[in-house]
């Protein structure tokens, strides 16, 4: 087996994408990033590492990083622990920076144990996540309001909500970065608001797309508007729109320890297709 960093994006996508598409919803992060890089090679100013493990010229596992972010491990069936341990040793020998790792629980656990052994650096769990997929929306009670695109006039509001969303999700965002994200989402027409009587009450963003699916993120409802079904309405409304526009399914990540959000998504018709975990390594 050969483990290496592939320098050709075209080669990597050609050989790795079929492997990732076997579990498309669970691999939406890697697939979405690869799609973005393909469309804009300069999308990540710090570059990227495209890791591949091949057996007889066939990809059997994939891993990647867009520095300074965490390494991503693919969701792939029938991969032995030895392969994951060898991936960790390969990255270690390349002296690449590893702030953390995320991926399927069993693979991230093996990687983390091997990384701790190699480096004597302790890890901590940053977040446990569930990955959901929805192919068909369940019938839902009617909720007052309507879905609309966020516009430039909503930029300050979206920025504020992104900061609050980051606090709730244990992923703090600086005001400057939140403003940058808000501007980007609005500029790409990917941010949607649920509005009641002219007042925005909830938001959701259409994030990356894969070959057959679309991912939703940044779902947030301020405290004063919670318990009214607005989060359900905005996610259901955006999901319905994405399916109508041609996506075969929608996917999203949730915090495993947040019962409210998990309940909301299941009511809409989202079904769990995977578990993911994020480990951080102490410097």
How does pLDDT run across 172-199, given as a tens digit for each residue? 999 999 999 999 999 999 999 999 999 9
pLDDT class of 44 with cuts at 50, 70, 90: confident
Does residue 61 sit in helix, strand or coil?
strand
pLDDT range class, residue 42, cuts 50, 70, 90: confident
Structure confidence at residue 89 (pLDDT):
98
Token readout for 104 is 């399927």
CA 265 to chain centre: 16
Closest by Cα among 56, 47, 75, 61 to 16: 61
Tell which residue, 90, 30, 87, has the closest CA to residue 60. Answer: 87
CATH of domain 2-121: 3.40.630
pLDDT at 282: 87
Domains 2-121 and 134-275 share a fold: yes
* pLDDT over 90 percentage in the chain: 93
Read off the pLDDT of each residue in 81-89 and give the average, rounded to a whole number: 98
User: Of 270, 157, 140, which is closest to residue 221 (Cα–Cα)?
Assistant: 157
Using the predicted structure, report yes or no on whether residue 283 has a pLDDT greater than 80.
Answer: no
Full-model pTM:
0.92
Which whole-number Å values give the CA distances from 275 to 12, 58, 111, 112, 131, in the listed order? 25, 26, 16, 16, 6
The encoded tokens of residue 49 equal 């590492």
| Residue 165: burial class (beta carbons within 10 Å; 0-12, 13-18, 19+) | buried
Closest CA to 197 of 141, 145, 143, 142: 145
Q: Which CATH architecture has domain 134-275?
A: 3-Layer(aba) Sandwich (3.40)
Please state the domain extents for the chain.
2-121, 134-275
Q: How many CA atoms are closer than 13 Å to the CA of 210, on its beta-carbon side?
A: 26
């Amino acid at each position: 087996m050969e483990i290496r960093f592939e320098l050709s994006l075209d080669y990597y996508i050609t050989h790795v994408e079929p492997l990732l598409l076997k579990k498309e919803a669970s691999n939406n992060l890697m697939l979405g990033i690869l799609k973005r890089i393909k469309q804009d090679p300069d999308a990540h100013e710090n570059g990227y590492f495209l890791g591949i493990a091949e057996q007889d010229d066939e990809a059997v596992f994939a891993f990647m990083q867009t520095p300074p972010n965490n390494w991503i491990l693919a969701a792939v069936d029938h991969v032995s622990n030895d392969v994951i341990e060898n991936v960790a040793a390969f990255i270690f020998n390349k002296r690449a920076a590893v702030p953390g790792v995320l991926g399927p629980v069993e693979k991230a656990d093996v990687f983390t144990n091997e990384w701790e052994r190699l480096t004597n650096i302790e890890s901590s769990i940053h977040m446990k996540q569930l990955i959901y997929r929805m192919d068909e929306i369940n019938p839902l009670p009617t909720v007052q309001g309507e879905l609309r695109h966020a516009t430039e006039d909503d930029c300050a509001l979206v920025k504020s909500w992104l900061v609050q969303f980051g606090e709730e999700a244990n992923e703090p965002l600086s005001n400057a970065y939140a403003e940058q994200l808000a501007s980007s989402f609005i500029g790409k027409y990917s941010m949607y608001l649920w509005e009641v009587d002219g007042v925005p009450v909830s938001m959701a963003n259409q994030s990356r797309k894969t070959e057959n699916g679309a991912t939703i993120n940044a779902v947030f409802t301020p405290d004063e508007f919670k318990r009214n079904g607005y989060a359900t309405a905005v996610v259901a409304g955006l999901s319905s729109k994405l399916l109508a526009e041609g996506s075969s399914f929608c996917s999203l990540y949730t915090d495993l320890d947040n019962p409210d959000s998990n309940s909301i998504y299941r009511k809409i018709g989202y079904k769990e297709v995977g578990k993911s975990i994020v480990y951080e390594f102490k410097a």
